[in-house]
Structure 1
């Protein structure tokens, strides 16, 4: 057997980042995935490192919103009826945790984590020489109604105390800043801190190249072959049939994580929010310049390397359920009325799944009752944003360093 200090299972943004930070602390790391780095969930996101996202997505609590969700015709949220029985328990916990009394401490802990997002990414961007993948700094949250615009402006002002910066734009200012818009809207918030990435999958690949250039071992294989060794440590089988061992293992398999940890008795209430994207040729005389969220319709437009990417909201179903890209079909004409889009680049939309937990916080730390097993998953919508921060924090825990923030809220041993 080959012997390493740590096996990291999962080569998305979180797994690659964990491997890099462990390697920086002198550990011999092997990274295993069934595919190349950055080709699963990390490939299909909006490509924004969201420093402004200090508040995790709450479950809606307004009766009017709940009734419209129940009708299953919204653009931003859809569900598969057959999946509802399995989703009922985690969604009820999610609903309870979204009440103000429960949500406030969750948001405070989450804000401390998001605050690390830019500095940890910028360090890796420099080391990987990957700044060429960045787009314009910041992104636009668009508003169609004056009422929603004014509410959002007031909410944005409250975030300045948390280190979040923004500019308010009225309709004319928005049109001047983004000439690609074909409709006159009420205004926008320009979140000025976030970084945007023109190819999220390529950024993960750039970080992975840095990892392997520094001496880490790249492995192909099925993470579910993981087994404990009799004298301590862990082993996993590669695609070639070879068994590889290490003293410690990190589970960073995103939405598939509990399919593995469940075999070892650790079954946190993970559920997925699926999403879709598709690229379209930008045939406008004024090419799209900014990442834009059509906030009142529930989709996002991003000027990516492959074209303008439309990303959808949340689809609640089982991770392996057949693709039903009805949200994408529904938002495409709305997006076409907003900006000029050409034909689709890909013949079929991409589908992915976001790994979510009922208290909206990721799991970062030691798996209870399993010495040498650590986990880093459950980031919901923000795995791309939080990968490097998670990697740093997990590496601090694993090497006995003082952590940059209080880690108890993210403990795998917490109650949900």
Structure 2
């Protein structure tokens, strides 16, 4: 049989075949002669069947990174260049490694939260708003006739407020409606100021409060056209803030599913749920594994003790800690510093001793999801497992494209 490849080509082919098992073992795409990228956090470095995943080489230029990211998107996604461009900008601004696992983590969240719609529709949104208005008018004693008459007023976009309510489809539309109603209607400021029901939005359903704090702490890579709240409802802003809350913080997990649980329940919730389990074991109490260690009132830690604080106080002699020291450490629950605290270390030391070996430092938060937008019983675990499945499918697309 005639050989159709040259000797140099044959040599390259042999090298490629020799390199193939290593590339498969690494769980990453094979590009001949390409250096290995930087290491990833343990939860993102853990591939299927024990494979170790790494970041893409830092030598890749922006165009090459975008091309790789684009092939990770589900086939049905429109404007692939636009989505990958927004993802790239978020990763570059935040200094997050460009890698299949990091991109796939963000892609899986977007797919779960919005199916790659920049401003996803919310079924029954008009009814949700109508109920909210009725509840608030009743609370403030405003006659229904006054409200219904005011809603017939022409709004800044040319339609009446009632017409806009009836036509509501997305959270972005609802946010704009509430802003106009607050500014324009006679009872607007009394009834609605500070009570905009839209708390999350955009393709990754990010908290507006988080976005505002993130922009203060880490900046924002785009010019703000109206205000930061409205940026959350844009594709670029929603992606940037979503990537930030998902990837721009340290975790000690060995499985990415706990990162996805944190996205839903709040940063460090899986770590805190494991702490609750350990504390419950040591104190011989049944504690809720919801990831919340203190009680909160309007975002601030309440003075009333939580069940976690009560349990820690009950064993404070064994912990060799005072009441104020326990409180001091519990106040760190929403930061990485809690895992370095005295309380954390001593509770786990006692739990490990009682168990005869190390107990888990990560646990799935047990939380039932509640929202006017949710119409069936869902949990944080359901959300995390669903996203994990999409994440694995995304990694498979990367391997399949290699």
Normalising by structure 1, report the TM-score: 0.22
- Larger relative CO (CA 8 A, sep 6+): 1 or 2? 1
Largest Rg, 1 or 2: 2
Which one has a larger percent helix, Structure 1 or Structure 2?
2
